[in-house]
Structure 1
Amino acid sequence: MRILLIVFIATILSFSTKATEPIREMAALAPYVGIWEQVLADGSTDQPDVQKWEWAFKGKVVRILHGSGSYGGESLIHWDTVQQKILFRYVTNDGFYTDGVMTPTETGFDVTEVIGGAKAGPSEVQSVYSITADGHLQVKANFKMGGKWQEGFTNTYRRNPDAEVKYDN
């Protein structure tokens, strides 16, 4: 009986600690899975953005939660078998959302998004995600405002498994 209990516990532990293997079409996102905390400039009083990337639905979906206090959102990223593309929807606590396409590149991936549900602000976003030589996540984004593209931002994140996604509302 005791041996049976030990085998049962070992079996349970082996399933719970086994890493999720992504489907082939989502494998390009594997290096991004984990918790990332924004690197702020020295002296900044801002609360850093935290992004938690995790596998869902047995490697068929990546779920991203992110937040920095008053602002946050969630993305579900998946492979679309009809369009043969990585698609996503990003929903925010500000009431707007984006629908987009992620295209893997040699250095990361390019992202194009169309914004919906917003009364003002940009109508589209183009961004580039990459992991730098020193292991940081870098996000560069540009915004389409009033029909014209404008330079947006560059954010850098470092891995921090202890960081927590927070948003107030």
Structure 2
Amino acid sequence: MRPLILSLLLCSAAAQAAPIDALKPMAFLAGHCWKGDFPGGKQSDEHCFQWAYEGNVLRDVHTVRSPGKPDYVGETIYYYDSAAKTVAYLYVENGGGYSRGTMTPTATGLDFPETQYVADGKPLTYRSRWTPSGPDAYEALSEMYLKEKWVTQFKLLLKRQ
């Protein structure tokens, strides 16, 4: 029984680990799930964030739910790329798509500069911006590059659950 209690305490301490400096701008997300509804209310988007590896990684499990359809699920791992001196991420999803990119903190939130999402060998160029909206919400704006211009893919208000 004692080893079980000790491992539970260690797991709890790891979940509460302080993030490394580079990931601190994302700290408000950690330890919470954030959910928003797409316009029309027929789809929801949920992101659940947790620290991993003693605060060296922020893990985001992402689920889009649509009535009558299988869930679209993905996972993003944010980490500090010491060679490039920036926060980088790797995103993979249950349909086989993936993307790699970076995150830059700004005075108003988190910017995810232009990168590519690849599915079935086809790239889609996109960029995103997350802007905190009080202590319990943030706005996510995603744009994609189509026909030589940036167009809004979606804009959601995600609320802490």
TM-score tier (shorter): 0.7 to 0.9
1:134 and 1:39, CA in 2 relative to 1: closer, same or farther beyond 3 A?
farther
Contact 2:38 / 2:45 at 8 angstroms: preserved in 1? no
Contact 2:38 / 2:44 at 8 angstroms: preserved in 1? yes
Deviations 1:116-140 (A, max 9, x none): 24445x6211111121026212101
**Quick one: percent identity of the two aligned structures?**
25
Bigger Rg, which one? 1
User: 1:28 maps to which residue?
Assistant: 25
Instruction: Choose between structure 1 and 2 for higher RCO, CA contacts under 8 A separated by at least 6 residues.
Output: 1
Query: CA RMSD of the aligned region, Å?
Result: 2.4
Deviations 1:57-99 (A, max 9, x none): 1100111111123312111110000100000111112221111
1:9 and 1:126, CA in 2 relative to 1: closer, same or farther beyond 3 A?
closer
* C-alpha separation in 2, matches of 1:40 and 1:134: 21
Contact 1:39 / 1:158 at 8 angstroms: preserved in 2? no
* C-alpha separation in 1, matches of 2:4 and 2:63: 36
Alpha-carbon shift at residue 147 of structure 1 (Å): 3.9
1:20 and 1:93, CA in 2 relative to 1: closer, same or farther beyond 3 A?
same
User: Do structure 1's residue 63 and structure 2's residue 65 form an aligned pair?
Assistant: no
* C-alpha separation in 2, matches of 1:49 and 1:94: 16
Pairs aligned (count): 151
After TM superposition, the structure 1 stretch with the greater mean CA deviation from structure 2, 11-20 or 61-70, is 11-20
> Unpaired runs of 5+ in structure 2?
66-70
User: 2:93 maps to which residue?
Assistant: 92
Q: Which has the higher strand share?
A: 2
1:134 and 1:26, CA in 2 relative to 1: closer, same or farther beyond 3 A?
closer
* C-alpha separation in 2, matches of 1:152 and 1:47: 14
1:60 and 1:147, CA in 2 relative to 1: closer, same or farther beyond 3 A?
same
1:146 and 1:40, CA in 2 relative to 1: closer, same or farther beyond 3 A?
closer
Contact 1:51 / 1:65 at 8 angstroms: preserved in 2? yes
